[in-house]
Amino acid sequence: MAMKYTNIVILTGAGISEESGIQTFRGVDGIWENHRIEEVAHPMAFQKNPELVHRFYNERRKKLQTPEIRPNEAHLALKNLEDNSFAHFLLVTQNVDNLHERAGAEKVVHMHGEIMKARCLSCEKSNEHFEDMTLESVCKSCGTKGRLRPDIVWFEETVMHMKEIMEHLRLCDLFICIGTSGQVYPAAGFVDMVPLDCRTVEINLVPTQISSLFKEHYYGKASIEVPRFIQQLISGK
Ligand code: APR
């Protein structure tokens, strides 16, 4: 059943991966409850104490690769939507995990980078990195040693893929925002960048500080609400 929407943009945040066992950043037991952003997620932090920053990302990368961490029903429902969208489709994620890809999603852009990737400060190339990153790590592209950093967008750094994202938002007729607290820009402002007649939907456990900007809201767990909403979409409701 081809849906009536011609240009779909999805924005996901940490909430879509929470039921897969990945910590969110804010709220109960959030990552920022136990780590200071300026110590582990800022370029100055990497300048000052690269070992601490590597440890922070190595721990999260190792956890992501454990067998119990896998895509949940919400990730799979988005893959189902992508397969049933005979239109333009873009899945924008703020998450640095690879659960969308592991659910089979193809048109995914990581605006805050990817924890499974390393970026070389010498050749600027980004490459897959699966083991712990240290000051001894060697770049797989240029062979330089000790110049790798996590391929993550830190606070005060420029987010990625904005040109492509803006192009899709400008023409969007269905914008679905899932599992983000709406506290970090530019992602939190995307709902303001879609056309006036765009259908805007927020799916979250609870209302957020950007809820008032959406026309529709579905509150509950992503693994329940996302599949339910997408099933309705695909069946043409
Ligand atoms: N189902 C749906 N929503 C959920 C669930 C769930 N099971 N669990 C949590 N949430 C919601 C919370 O209600 C909250 O609104 O997910 C959101 C998580 O918010 P944050 O932890 O702030 O994560 P996010 O919005 O993705 O953070 C944005 O901030 O720290 C930076 O770069 C980091 O990408 C991150 C950005």
CATH code for the domain defined by 23-68+114-152? 3.30.1600.10
Task: List the pLDDT tens digit at each of the 237 positions of the chain.
Answer: 457 899 999 999 999 999 999 999 998 889 999 999 999 999 999 999 999 999 999 999 999 999 999 999 999 999 999 999 888 999 999 999 999 999 999 999 999 999 999 999 999 999 998 899 999 999 999 999 999 999 999 999 999 999 999 999 999 999 999 999 999 999 999 999 999 999 999 999 999 999 999 999 999 999 999 999 999 999 886
Walk across the sheet containing 126-128 and list its strands: 126-128, 113-120, 148-152
Residue 7 annotated in ligand binding: no
Establish whether 42 is a catalytic residue.
no
Q: From ligand 1's centre to the CA of 127, what distance in Å?
A: 27
pLDDT at position 1: 46
1-22+71-112+159-236 shares its CATH topology with 23-68+114-152 = no
d(C-alpha 202, C-alpha 179), whole Å: 8
The domain ranges of the chain are 1-22+71-112+159-236, 23-68+114-152
By most ligand atoms within 8 Å of CB, the mutation choice from 205, 223, 229 for ligand 1 is 205
- Does ipTM come in above 0.95? yes
| Residue owning the nearest CA to atom 14 of ligand 1 | 181
Q: 60, 37, 35, 72: which is closest to 129 by C-alpha?
A: 60
State the fold for domain 1-22+71-112+159-236: Rossmann fold (3.40.50)
